[in-house]
Each structure stands twice: as structure tokens, then as C-alpha cells.
């Protein structure tokens, strides 16, 4: 399916400037696919950048071109919604390394025209943010009203405040963390190993072949999907119920509903995501630790960001990026005197709560963007 995925046309811009990367390598030019909603005002002061999560994309409030499903945050972004496109010019760019039109492992090599595959350099969250800043330069937007993101999107919002504190008025960081924990890295490694163990992965050079590592990618997604849900949520949704049968098969079919659900989630994912992109983006997240360049002191990352208004939200059932990680960010923001808001919301959906119906999050978002008062 990867070949079909790469045939989709996305709205994008290719910026003919070198993008220096944290690895020491650089990209000679960078292509960034993006969507925008709402009008940019004359002063160019109403732009809101939304940063998407690991397997998200730029189609935040428009139908997904591969699946036809509504935008992943259509409930949050739109006219009269908490991120109100009648007031704000909303930009969402596909992250560097992803597979929805931005530069990534499927990008053709300039010399040979063949997809780069694993020759694409390893990237970081800071590299993604650097690419977004290049896009904003290209669009002539000097300063953002806000950078908003959940999960990996929240990491980008934090990295924005650390790298370009003068270019944003506020950062909204939902269900996120300032570093990847050992447990986070461990789950990602399971996913990567599933992909790389798939014989159809072919060392990442599967694009021209009729085979793609869909089995490995599906298993990676199944493992990751568990981490996005809460134990109570899974129990409530599936319990130990059997799938379309009354008795156990005493075999290895998907006897349980939860197995069937995960298999479906894994398979559906391969229709809209590229295995190599999954490797690159999970790697970028694993390398993320904002305190690392500051001798482990997170406040060092926010030294110049004391005029940025931060809004942080965690969810009580999110065990992937638990509340303690948000509290750690709050402590660092207190240390530099930045204006910070933080609340742990109660929601049953685990990490995925940030994407789902949590009315309190809507009200907080409106307040953070200055639309609720």
C-alpha cells in the first residue's frame, strides 16, 4: 500500500535552502506539505501552528486523502470551535520524516531519483521544528499567536519555545513530556523491531518492489495502540468478550474482541502510513530530551522563554505520558518565572484523550488562545 500512499498529491512547498540537522548532517533542500485554515490578518499576528503526533498529519480539520475520514482534530479546529478558524489562521504541517508529502525516507535521492530509504538522515524533534520555522519564514509569518500540540505535537510546542522563544506568544502542550522515558523508548523499539524483522522491509528499500513491510508495521501499530488506551478503557470496551463466536476456538484466530480490534487497527494503519517513516519518527521521539543540552536541567531549555505563556494539560488515565512528566515541565517553568498553567483532567480514554471528547479540554484551549474571555 505504501506505493499508493506516495501517489497522493499534497499541498506543499519546497524551500531551496539547506536544513542543518542535529545529527550534523543536513538536507540540501526541504519539502514541507501543509494545510491552512482561516485567514491570515494584515498584521500576520493571528497564526496558530498545530503540531501533529507521531502518526498524525497535516489534515487536522480536513478529510484524510487516503482514508476519507474527517480530520484528526476536526472537533477542535474550525469555525466557532475552540481553535477558531474565524479568528485564527491555523497552519498544520506534516513533520519532517513523515509520509504525507514532507521530506522523509520516501523522498527521492536527488542524484538517482530512487527513494532515499534508510539513506535519509536520522532526524530529531528539534529538526522538525527547524523545518516548520523555515515554512513560516517562507510564509512571511515572523511570530505565532500560539503553537499547539498533543503527544509528539506537544514535544514540538516545547521545542518551539526552547528554540524560538521570540517567535511564539504561547505554547499549548497536551498529554506530552519533555523527554522520552525508558518505557517510551522500549515500546518504540518493539515497533521498530517488528518492522525491521519483516522480510518485506528489505533494509528499507521496498518502495520499488511489490512488497512492503505491512505485517511488521501492523504489529508495531498494535503494540503502540495499546499504549494509547487505558486498561479500564480496554476492559470497558472489550472485557474478555469473544469475537463473533460463542465458544473459544482452541486455536489462534482472533477469539477475543480485543484481538480482532487490534488486528484491524494494525492493518488499517498500513493503508495510511509508511513503515520507514514510522522508524524515523519514533527515533526522533526517543532522542527527545529537552534537558539534555543543559546538563539535565530542564529549566535551562526555557531560559529565554520566560515571556511565553505555557498551558499544559495531562490526563489521569494516560500512562504513556503521565502527569508527573507535565509536573516536571511546570517546575522548570516556575524556575524561569514563565507564566504557566497546568491541570490534570479526568478522562477515561488514556493517552488518546487529547483527541477525543473531553469538554474541559475545549474550554481550556479556548482560554489558552484568548477566545474564552
Partner 1 sequence: MTTLRPDLEIIADAIPGRTRVLDIGCGDGALMAELRAHKYIDARGLEIDAAAIEAAMAQGLSVVQGDANRDLADYPGDAFDYAILSQTLQTTRRPDRVVDELLRIAPRAFVSFPNFAHWRIRLALLWGGRMPVTRLLPVAWYETPNIHHVTVSDFRDLVRDKGIKVERAWYLSGDKPTSAAAASWRAEHAIFLIGRA
Task: Identify the H or E element spanning 265.
Answer: helix 257-270
Distance CA 3, CA 42 (A): 41
Q: Answer yes or no whether residue 87 interacts with partner 1 by CB under 8 A.
A: no
The residue within the footprint of partner 1, chosen from 345, 351, 353, 355 (CB under 8 A), is 345
Smallest separation, CB 359 to partner 1 (Å): 10
The residue within the footprint of partner 1, chosen from 23, 235, 249, 346 (CB under 8 A), is 346
Q: Answer yes or no whether residue 144 interacts with partner 1 by CB under 8 A.
A: no
Question: From the CB of residue 239, how many other CB atoms can be counted at a distance below 10 Å?
Answer: 11
Smallest separation, CB 88 to partner 1 (Å): 15
Distance CA 195, CA 197 (A): 5
- Of 127, 198, 286, 318, which residue is the catalytic one? 318
Smallest separation, CB 49 to partner 1 (Å): 19
Q: Which stretch binds partner 1 (CB under 8 A): 3-11, 14-22, 43-51, 358-366?
A: 358-366
Smallest separation, CB 326 to partner 1 (Å): 9
Smallest separation, CB 360 to partner 1 (Å): 5
Mark 261-300 with x for binding to partner 1 (rule: CB under 8 A) and - for no binding: ----------------------------------------
- Of 102, 188, 351, 353, which residue is the catalytic one? 351
Distance CA 12, CA 14 (A): 7
Q: Which stretch binds partner 1 (CB under 8 A): 5-13, 114-122, 250-258, 337-345?
A: 337-345
Of the candidates 286, 1, 265, 347, which has an alpha carbon nearest to the alpha carbon of residue 125? 286
User: Buried b vs exposed e over 273-299: b needs ≥16 C-beta within 10 Å?
Assistant: bbbbbbbbbbbbbbbbbbbeebeeebb
Q: Which is nearer to partner 1, 303 or 370 (CB)?
A: 370
Smallest separation, CB 329 to partner 1 (Å): 11
Of the candidates 49, 331, 303, which has an alpha carbon nearest to the alpha carbon of residue 168? 49
318 is catalytic: yes
DSSP secondary structure string for all residues of 285-349: HHH-BTTGGGTT-GGGGGTT-TTSEEEEEEETT--SS-HHHHHHHHHHHHHHT--EEEEEEP-TT
- Of 102, 151, 230, 326, which residue is the catalytic one? 151
Q: Answer yes or no whether residue 339 interacts with partner 1 by CB under 8 A.
A: yes
Residues binding partner 1: number (CB under 8 A): 24
Q: Which residues sit opposite 242 in a β-bridge? A: 256
Of the candidates 368, 323, 335, 364, which has an alpha carbon nearest to the alpha carbon of residue 177? 323
Smallest separation, CB 364 to partner 1 (Å): 5
Of the candidates 230, 372, 367, which has an alpha carbon nearest to the alpha carbon of residue 312? 367
Q: Where does residue 304 rank: exposed (0-12), middle (13-18), buried (19+ CB within 10 A)? A: middle
Distance CA 321, CA 175 (A): 6
Q: Answer yes or no whether residue 324 interacts with partner 1 by CB under 8 A.
A: no
Q: Answer yes or no whether residue 342 interacts with partner 1 by CB under 8 A.
A: yes
Contacts (Cβ under 8 Å, ≥6 apart) of 322: 314
Mark 18-57 with x for binding to partner 1 (rule: CB under 8 A) and - for no binding: ----------------------------------------
Question: From the CB of residue 324, how many other CB atoms can be counted at a distance below 10 Å?
Answer: 11
Sign of CA dihedral 197, 286, 67, 129: negative
Mark 299-318 with x for binding to partner 1 (rule: CB under 8 A) and - for no binding: ----------x-x-------
351 is catalytic: yes
List contacts with partner 1 (CB under 8 A). 309, 311, 330-331, 334-335, 337, 339-346, 360, 363-364, 366-368, 370, 372-373
Active site residues: 151, 318, 351
Amino acid at each position: 500500500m505504501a506505493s499508493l500512499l506516495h501517489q497522493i498529491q499534497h499541498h506543499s512547498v519546497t524551500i531551496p535552502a539547506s536544513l542543518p540537522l542535529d545529527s550534523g548532517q543536513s538536507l540540501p533542500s526541504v519539502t514541507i506539505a501543509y494545510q491552512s485554515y482561516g485567514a491570515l490578518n494584515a498584521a500576520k499576528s493571528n497564526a496558530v501552528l498545530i503540531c501533529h503526533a507521531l502518526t498524525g498529519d497535516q489534515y487536522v480539520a480536513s478529510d484524510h486523502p487516503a482514508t476519507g475520514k474527517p480530520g484528526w482534530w476536526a472537533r477542535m479546529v474550525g469555525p466557532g470551535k475552540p481553535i477558531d478558524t474565524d479568528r485564527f489562521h491555523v497552519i498544520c504541517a506534516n513533520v519532517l520524516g513523515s509520509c504525507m508529502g514532507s521530506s522523509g525516507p520516501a523522498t527521492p535521492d536527488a542524484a538517482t531519483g530512487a527513494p532515499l530509504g534508510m539513506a535519509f538522515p536520522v532526524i530529531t524533534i528539534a529538526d522538525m521544528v527547524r523545518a516548520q520555522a523555515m515554512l513560516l519564514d517562507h510564509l512571511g509569518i515572523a511570530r505565532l499567536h500560539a503553537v499547539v500540540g498533543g503527544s509528539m505535537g506537544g514535544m514540538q510546542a516545547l521545542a518551539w519555545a526552547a528554540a524560538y522563544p521570540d517567535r511564539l506568544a504561547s505554547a499549548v502542550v497536551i498529554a506530552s513530556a519533555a523527554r522520552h522515558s525508558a518505557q517510551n523508548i522500549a515500546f518504540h523499539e518493539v515497533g521498530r523491531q517488528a518492522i525491521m524483522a519483516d522480510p518485506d522491509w528489505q533494509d528499507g528499500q521496498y518502495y520499488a518492489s511489490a512488497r512492503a513491510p505491512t505485517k511488521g508495521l501492523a504489529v508495531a501499530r498494535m503494540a503502540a495502540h495499546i499504549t494509547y488506551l487505558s486498561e479500564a478503557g480496554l476492559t470497558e470496551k472489550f472485557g474478555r468478550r469473544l469475537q463473533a463466536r460463542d465458544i473459544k476456538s482452541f486455536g489462534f484466530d482472533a477469539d477475543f474482541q480485543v484481538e480482532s480490534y487490534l488486528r484491524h487497527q494494525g492493518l488499517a494503519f498500513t493503508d495510511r502510513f509508511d513503515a520507514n517513516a514510522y522508524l524515523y519518527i519514533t527515533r526522533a521521539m526517543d532522542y527527545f530530551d529537552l534537558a539534555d543540552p543543559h546538563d539535565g536541567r530542564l529549566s535551562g531549555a526555557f531560559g529565554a522563554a520566560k515571556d511565553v505563556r505555557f498551558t499544559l494539560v495531562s490526563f489521569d488515565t494516560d500512562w504513556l505520558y503521565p502527569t508527573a512528566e507535565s509536573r516536571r515541565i511546570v517546575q522548570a517553568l516556575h524556575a524561569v518565572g514563565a507564566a504557566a498553567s497546568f491541570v490534570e483532567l479526568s478522562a477515561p480514554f488514556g493517552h488518546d484523550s487529547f483527541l477525543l471528547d473531553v469538554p474541559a479540554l475545549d474550554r481550556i484551549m479556548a482560554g489558552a488562545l484568548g477566545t474564552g474571555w
